[in-house]
Amino acid sequence: MSSNVTPTSKPVKTTGLHVGDAAPGVRKVDPILIADGVKRTFGGLTAVDVDHVEVPRGAITALIGPNGAGKTTFFNLLTGFDKPDAGKWEFDGRSLAHVPAYRVARMGLIRTFQLTKALGLLTVMDNMKLGAKGQTGENLFRSVLPFLWRKQEDEIEAKALEILARFKLDTKKDDYAASLSGGQRKLLEMARALMSDPTLVMLDEPMAGVNPALTQSLLDHILDLKSQGMTVLFVEHDMHMVRHIADWVIVMAEGRIVAEGDPHIVMQDQAVIDAYLGAHHDADLGSTDTEHVEVLKELIDDEQ
């Protein structure tokens, strides 16, 4: 389990991110992403209903919440992969409403997917190269004239090799991505996201299915992104990881933001406990709740 992950060094936490008391929708000193009244319903079900939320720049923010809280849907809305019923949101001061997903990516907001999307029948190296921005050879007419893009291609390849080496995937560069293990694909997807030098990286459950031995190196990679000046927003169920690397935590439940704050403090918030156990947990503690009880126990153990 994740409990045998021993941090090699204590990461430097970024503090002083918010203005005023930590509450849902609290203002940030320097927000990179702001969402306002973003709402998405599927038939009768309200999957996302966020009044106001700001993501602090240059920090690692965790988005947590029970299954079905709307985290992935919120990710999809922010990145243009889904359209909200209402609301506006901006990235780096520019509105993202009605901006198609590929343009959002070009603006420097790169995401990964909960269900990994490695391009199976492309080699690991081709997966990486695809991530690079502004490629001359991606134009159909220029593509037939290799001398126009050969030099850029070499630069991209060198950069890809360097990132692959950091993720310990360089020995796999000529293999089909389909031949990688689940955890390696998570790594590849993250490595590929870095090819475009993003300003904000949004990771949907980067640790899911990754073995504990690899978890530590993934954590280091994410911390590394911060030290390179990137902002990270990630969804995660593993509370140890959240506490270990997050500078800020946003808690979602039933589509709403129910709590925000410092990772060590927010876990004790009554709203968070309610979110994980259901608001009526003292009335009826069903067997399906045992998992969540485990999570909370882990949290409380960890705090002591």
**∠ CA 180-129-213, rounded to 5°:** 35
Q: What is the DSSP letter of 264?
A: H
Contact status, residue 195 vs residue 160, Cβ threshold 8 Å: yes
Q: Is 65 in the site for ligand ATP (CB under 6 A)?
A: yes
Contact residues toward other proteins (CB under 8 A) are 79, 81, 100-103, 105-106, 110-113, 117-122, 126-127, 129-131, 133, 135-140, 143-144, 146, 149, 153, 176, 178-179, 189, 192-193, 195-196
Q: How far is the CB of 224 from Mg ion (least distance, A)?
A: 24
SS3 184: helix
Shortest separation between residue 22's beta carbon and other proteins, angstroms: 31
Q: Which is nearer to Mg ion, 72 or 215 (CB)?
A: 72
Q: How many residues bind Mg ion (CB under 5 A)?
A: 2
Show the site string, 28-47: x = touches ligand ATP by CB under 6 A, - = not. --------------x--x-x
Compute the chain's Rg from CA coordinates: 20
Which one among 67, 227, 228, 288 touches ligand ATP, defined by CB under 6 A?
67
Nearer to ligand ATP, 73 or 215 (CB): 73
Distances (CA, A) of 73 to 8, 32, 76, 132, 251: 34, 20, 5, 26, 14
Residues 179/113, Cβ–Cβ less than 8 Å: no
68 binds, among Mg ion, other proteins, ligand ATP, none (CB under 5 to 8 A by kind): ligand ATP
Question: Which residue in this structure is represented by tokens 């500078």?
Answer: 247
Rounded Cα gap, residues 206 and 133, in angstroms: 23
Looking up tokens 């690692």 gives: 60
Q: What is the contact surface with ligand ATP in residues (CB under 6 A)?
A: 42, 45, 47, 65, 67-73, 114
